[in-house]
Amino acid sequence: MKSIIDNQSLEKTGIERLQWFRDMMPLVDSINDYLDNEQIFKGKIIAICMHIEPKTAVWIEGILRGGAKHIYLVGCLGTTKEDTAAYLASLDRMTVLGKKNDTYEDHQNYLTQVMDHKIDLFLDNGASLILAHDRLKPDWTPIGANEETRSGKLLIEKEKVSPDYPVVVIDDSPVKQLLENAIGVGQSVVDGFMRATSLLLGGKQVLVIGYGFCGSGVAKKFKGQGANVMVYDLNPTIRLKAKADGYYVDDLPEVIKKADVIITVTGSFDVIRPDHIKYFKPNVILANSGHYSFEIDVKGLKEKASVTRVKKDIEKLTFTDKSCYLIADASPVNLACGDGNPIEIMDLGLGLQSASAIRILETDNQLKKGLQAVPVDIDKKISIDMMAILK
């Protein structure tokens, strides 16, 4: 099956850019050596849905070295780096399905094509593969799956899908929650926002919607840059926590009215919708850092606006009496406008992915079926190994 990517001539740029990431990912590097020595993935056909970017590429190199017979890689929406896709597509035993501006329909089409092949292992993000398997019901079942993120777990539960195979939820690992979500995402969201806008953050009224692991980190990092941060969360206890942490908290319409910048990070859809336009300050900037762009009802907002591009990654939506700005079509701002989470953080996160995949294959389906957290011993081992690396 041929790759579908933007531009194969970017392969050399993709290769050149990768060395820095390889050098800065010692945990994945050591696991990649282990995969190679033990040939953990020998003969296995693996479907991966992940952000196509350099850190993912370093991790995928290990899966290939570990003997995978073939990898089908589907990109996540709005976050594909064209040069990384070109590099990966140039490798043997790889099919890459991901373009920078893929639509939801393109994404679904790729997933349908992947399901035509008998897959041994899913390494999923946002439950794309798991939901496609449930929807299309091919006559095979994978040995198991990893699901990377909160949104994926929420979708599996919302759609009442009961996978007939083990699904290790990487996001249920304290390592991921406490390091990637609470620390890494905040730093990279501020970075992505600044790269997209080049604006001063000091003095801006920034509204963070969703104050979970990611949102609390996003709020903290914006506050650290001098922004006046406001928080809204559906959960009243979490709102209270945000208030006790020192943020301005009020009902959603009240905080929207005050906001210069609104960032969604909830795992829910349509958190900002056309019926909120009446509360918008003129020229409010909208961005998302949740997994799916649907946290902002972009289609609904655009139907009510004339749309002009004012900068790479920024569109101006002009309504009858005011305008707003939308960053990267609400794709996760840290990945769409920057390089995603800090390298050390993804060294950990992708290390968890590999260790969980090894467990699924080594135990040969002895894990229980359905959703489950990363085994506790894996969390401990990854934390100890990372601590040794950071010393």
Q: Which parts of this chain interact with ligand NAD (CB under 6 A)?
A: 149-151, 181, 185, 209-215, 232-235, 238, 265-268, 271, 289-291, 332, 334, 341
Classify 338 as helix, strand or coil.
coil
Instruction: Please check whether residue 160 is in contact with residue 361, taking contact to mean a CB–CB distance below 8 angstroms.
Output: no
- Dihedral pair phi/psi, residue 108, rounded to 5°: -65, -40
Instruction: Please check whether residue 36 is in contact with residue 10, taking contact to mean a CB–CB distance below 8 angstroms.
Output: no
Half-sphere exposure of 264 (CA within 13 A, CB side): 30
| Distance of alpha carbon 86 from alpha carbon 77, whole angstroms | 17
Chain centroid, CA 57 distance in Å: 15
Nearer to ligand NAD, 167 or 214 (CB): 214
| Distance of alpha carbon 222 from alpha carbon 229, whole angstroms | 7
Concatenating the DSSP letter of every residue in 191-251 gives: HHHHHHH----TT-EEEEE--SHHHHHHHHHHHHTT-EEEEE-SSHHHHHHHHHTT-EE--
Which helix (DSSP H) or strand (DSSP E) does residue 288 occupy?
Answer: strand 284-288
| Distance of alpha carbon 228 from alpha carbon 238, whole angstroms | 19
Instruction: Please check whether residue 49 is in contact with residue 126, taking contact to mean a CB–CB distance below 8 angstroms.
Output: yes
Report residue 360 as tokens.
Answer: 């699924």
| Distance of alpha carbon 33 from alpha carbon 305, whole angstroms | 53
